[in-house]
Each structure stands twice: as C-alpha cells, then as structure tokens.
Amino acid sequence: MSNFRTETVCVQGGYTPGNGEPRQIPIVQSTTFKYATSEDMGKLFDLEANGYFYTRLQNPTNDYVAAKLAELEGGTAAMLTSSGQAANFYAVFNIANCGDHVVSCSTIYGGTFNLFSVTMKKMGIDFTFVSPDCTDEELEAAFRPNTKAVFGETIANPALTVLDIEKFAKAAHSHGVPLIIDNTFATPVNCRPIEWGADIVTHSTTKYMDGHGCAVGGAIIDSGKFDWLAHAEKFPGLCTPDDSYHGITYAEKFGKEGAFITKCTAQLMRDFGSIQAPQHAFYLNLGLESLHVRMPRHCENGQAVAEFLANHPKVSKVNYCGLPGDKYYEVAQKYLPNGSCGVVSFELKGGRKAAEVFMSRLKLAAIETHVADARTCCLCPAASTHRQMTDEQLEAAGIPAGLVRMSCGLESKYDLIDDIAQALEAVE
Ligand SMILES: *Cc1c(COP(=O)(O)O)cnc(C)c1O
C-alpha cells in the first residue's frame, strides 16, 4: 500500500500501467481467460496460483478498482459486487450461517433492514436491532453466544443518524466478533471506519462513489486486522478446511490480510454470482477519480440548504449533523470533521400535504428514488418508499408523514436555495 493521500489515491490508486500500456484502466470485456495447459488452470482452481479464469469470480478491471477502494479505506483486500445489497449480504453471510446471530444498528437502509429481518431470517440467521443511541448496557445485552458480527452505517440512510463507531467496535471486539460498517454516505473521503476500529467496510458504490447516477454497484473491503484464528471456534468457515477447495483453510493459507475476501470470492461469488460488470467497474472508477473533489461540494450544498431550512418559518424540523444543535452534531465532529454528506431531511409544519405541494413545485430537485448523485433530488418516504404505512405506523418507524429527504447535488447552492424558497412559498 502506498502512503499517498486520499486525493491522490482517488485519482491514481489501484492501477499502475507499465511501459506502453493504457493510461486509463482497460475494460477487460471477456468472460473467460486462456491457458496453455490444464495444469496451469488447475492451479487457479485450487487457489494455488493467482490469476483469472472466469469473470464471475474475478476480472482484472474489477480488481484494479477494488485495489483502489482497499487503499482508500486503508484495508488489505477488497472485492466489487453487483450492488450494495449484494455487498452487505456477502459481508454478513461470509461469517454468519444458519443458527447464527448478528447485532445490527436499527437505523439502517430500508433494503438492508429487509434483507436482514426477512430474507436472512428465512435462512436461519437471527438479528437483534439496537438503537445507534443505545447505552453500553443495552448494546451488551444484545449479544448472544452465537453472535458472529455487529453491523451499522456510518451515516444512516435515510435516518441520518451518525454511529459512534468506536463504541460499537469495542463491544464487537470484547465478544470476539468483527464490526461491519456500511460507509456509503460518508465515503472514505469523509470517514475511514477502519481507523476507528471497523473490521469490514461495505459500500453501495451506486451512490457518491459513482456519483453520476449511472451504475449500480457495491464493494466489500477487509481491514486485514481481525484475527479469525484467535476466535476459530466462532468462524469455522474461515478456520477449518473447505472441502469445496481441497481442504484449504482460508485463515491459515491467506492470513488475516486475505482470508475474508478470498473466501467471499471463492465461495459466495462462485455460488451466487453477484459480480459487477467490468464496464460498471470502469464507470465506478471514473466516479472515484473525482470523489475527493465532489464530496466537499455535496457537503457545502447540504450545509447551506440545511441552514436555510432551519431558519424558515414553514419548516418544523431539520436533520443534518452539520447543524449545531442537531442530535448528532457532537459525534459527527469526531467522526466527520470535514463534513458528512449532501443528504438533508426535514419536516414541514403542514405535514404530508405540504410536503407533496412543496415537492411538486421544485424545479431543480427531481422526485427520485435515489440519493447521492450530481443532480439534486428529493423524496417523500410517506408518499413513496413507505407508502403502505399509515401515519401512525410511520410515526412509530421514525418517519413522519411530512418528512422530505433531499439529496443536494453539485449545482450552485444559491440556485438550490432559491428553488426551495419559491417552492415553500406555494405551501400553506
Ligand atoms: C443504497 C444503499 C444500499 C443498497 O445499495 P444498492 O447499490 O442500491 O443495492 C445499501 N446501503 C446504503 C447505506 C445505501 O444507501
């Protein structure tokens, strides 16, 4: 790993061309790779040699971009997946199986909550959800003898809570299990969870990393710090021989630095196949090349919009951890000193009706099921993603009917504020 700063790694990390080779990462648009002898290929299948044989498992384009992400997060190994959903599923399923248990923060992305509480539950994995604001005792009480991991989001989508990563890491480690952090909203430009004790980092690269709303994707990065063999009885998948790979024991053969990602690729990618297309990895890399330039602008626009809304008479509440007085301001000062993200949520005094009128009058912010791209967009969860819920159920889930989530893009903050101001004029 290099000692270059984040900005330099965003631009040049992961791929260093040799003499006469392409300056930009090549898109290896090939499903398969050729070998001279069956023996050569056999070594790859046995994980005895490094190389490519089939793009469902690995492709050079993906590996260049994964290497950049590993460097950005300060990890030792990384892999790309077809989506953020696949990344979180693989990250957890790589170490938790039927009969196991995971502690998860309750304020997580709705898709992840569904994955954990419905789909993975059907696979026999139990989750206990704890508030990001829980006490040490409440967190402690969530663990069971069969707990295999702790999960949370640096900045939660859409709740915008900020996680005390050190607290969750300490609890996980005292129970001999890793902390998995979904760092999608903060990106490594604003927070590097591994420096605060996280063991595995995941991303929906669909969001800020791509940043242009053009390619769905995900990633998993391993810190290389978790000592699987020291807790071998909890992690038989990593610490006992894998019969499907001629008795390889991942933690012994690939060490702390490589075991998690090698197993995840060799078993889960082989069997489930949620690989990112090399073309998408190329788009992702284009996004990464400017991530360090874009994030500060997203934050500047988010901050300006949040401040404007907080001072507006028709607005009853604003959630943005960059506002002094926000519930997460202090914790954000610690983990996100350079800014959080461009996503702001707020409530209008007129409730759901006012939110609908307001959004319909916006000219710049489009109504979209998306966040974190160059174009400002917004969504009223009660009228869209959480539409099936009654106002009472919404309130219980912490999503007031009039809540608007706005993802501030890269436009002029003055134009965004003018647009919001004129739309608020139309609201009763
Ligand atoms: C969007 C999102 C996901 C899911 O990612 P997809 O790329 O849409 O599959 C997971 N976690 C967070 C925090 C997200 O915002």
What string of DSSP letters covers 94-149?
A: TT--TT-EEEEESS--HHHHHIIIIIHHHTT-EEEEE-TT--HHHHHHT--TTEEE
Supply the pLDDT for residue 420: 98
Average pLDDT over all residues of the chain: 95
pLDDT at 27: 98
Both structure tokens of 45: 């299948």
Strands laid side by side in the 403-407 sheet: 315-319, 343-348, 403-407, 377-379, 366-367
Q: Extract the tokens encoding 128.
A: 């206990």
pLDDT of 189-232, one tens digit each?
Answer: 999 999 999 999 999 999 999 999 999 999 999 999 999 999 99
Q: For ligand 1, atom 1, which residue shows the shortest CA distance?
A: 204
Q: Which tens digits make up the pLDDT trace of 107-148?
A: 999 899 999 999 999 999 999 999 999 999 999 999 999 999
Which atom of ligand 1 lies closest to the CA of 88? 10
Q: Which protein residue has the closest C-alpha to ligand 1 atom 2?
A: 204
User: Using CA positions, which residue lies closest to atom 12 of ligand 1?
Assistant: 109
Matching fold, domains 10-286 and 293-425 = no
Pocket of ligand 1 (CB under 6 A): 83-85, 88, 109, 111-112, 153, 157, 182, 184-185, 204, 206-207, 216, 218
Residue nearest atom 7 in ligand 1 by C-alpha distance:
84
Q: What φ, ψ does residue 25 adopt, rounded to 5°?
A: -65, 130
pLDDT tens, position by position, 340-362: 999 999 999 998 899 999 999 99
Percent of the chain with pLDDT over 90: 87
- Tell me which of 129-143, 161-175, 379-393 is least confident: 379-393
For residue 3, the model assigns a pLDDT of 85
Distance from C-alpha of 318 to C-alpha of 197, rounded to nearest angstrom: 30
- In this prediction, residues 53-78 reach a mean pLDDT of 97
Q: How far is the CA of 207 from the centre of ligand 1 (A)?
A: 7
Could you tell me the distance, in angstroms and rounded to a whole number, from the CA of residue 97 to the centre of ligand 1? 22
From the CA of 371, give the closest atom in ligand 1: 15
- What are the domain boundaries of the chain? 10-286, 293-425
Residue 162, pLDDT score: 97
Q: What distance, in Å, lies between the first and last C-alpha atoms of the chain? A: 57
How far away, in angstroms, is 73 Cα from ligand 1 center? Answer: 18
- Residue 369 predicted with pLDDT over 90: no
Sign (positive or negative) of CA dihedral 226, 275, 298, 425: negative
Q: How many C-beta neighbours within 10 Å does residue 7 have? A: 12
Residue 377: its H or E element = strand 377-379
Residues 315-322 have a mean pLDDT of 97
**CB neighbours of residue 268 within 10 Å:** 20
- CATH class of the domain whose range is 293-425: alpha beta
Task: Check if CATH label 3.40.640.10 holds for domain 10-286.
Answer: yes
Q: How far is the CA of 262 from the centre of ligand 1 (A)?
A: 23
Q: What is the pLDDT of residues 297-307, one digit of tens each?
A: 999 999 999 99
Closest ligand 1 atom to Cα of 205: 7
Rg (CA), the chain: 22
pTM of the predicted model over 0.85: yes
**256 CA → ligand 1 middle, Å:** 27
Q: Cα 31 to chain center, whole Å?
A: 27
pLDDT confidence of residue 47: 83
Ligand 1 centroid from CA 219, angstroms: 11
Q: Has residue 1 got a pLDDT over 70?
A: no
Q: Is a pLDDT exceeding 80 seen at residue 274? A: yes
Return the DSSP state at 195: G
Distance CA 60, CA 28 (A): 7
Distance 381 CA to ligand 1 centre (A): 16
Q: How confident is the model at residue 414 (pLDDT cuts 50, 70, 90)?
A: very high
- 101-105/126-130 β-pairing: parallel
- 396 confidence band (pLDDT: 50, 70, 90): low
- Residue 83 Cα to ligand 1 middle (Å): 7
Q: What is the pLDDT of residue 79?
A: 98
3 state DSSP class of 293: helix
Mind listing the pLDDT tens digit for each residue in 418-427?
999 999 999 9
| Best of 92, 105, 112 for a ligand 1 pocket test (most atoms within 8 Å of beta carbon) | 112
Has residue 389 got a pLDDT over 80?
no
Which residues sit opposite 318 in a β-bridge?
346
**Both tokens of residue 48?**
């005895």
Phi and psi angles of residue 362, each rounded to the nearest 5 degrees, phi first: -70, 140
For residue 156, pLDDT over 90 is answered with yes
CA of 354 to the centre of ligand 1 (A): 28
pLDDT attached to residue 392? 76
What pLDDT, in 10s, does the model give residues 23-51? Answer: 999 999 999 999 999 998 888 888 888 88
Please tell me the residue having the least CA distance from ligand 1 atom 6.
Answer: 84
Band of residue 397 on the pLDDT scale cut at 50, 70, 90? low
If one residue of 80, 85, 185, 191 were mutated to test the ligand 1 pocket, choosing by the most ligand atoms within 8 A of its CB, it would be: 85
Q: Mind giving me the DSSP string for 199-223? A: SEEEEETTTTTT-SS----EEEEE-
pLDDT for 67 equals: 98
CB neighbour burial string for 122-157, b if at least 16 within 10 angstroms, e if fewer: eeebbbebbebebeeeebeebbeeebbbbbbbbbbb
**Cα dihedral 134, 295, 334, 174 in deg (nearest 10):** 50
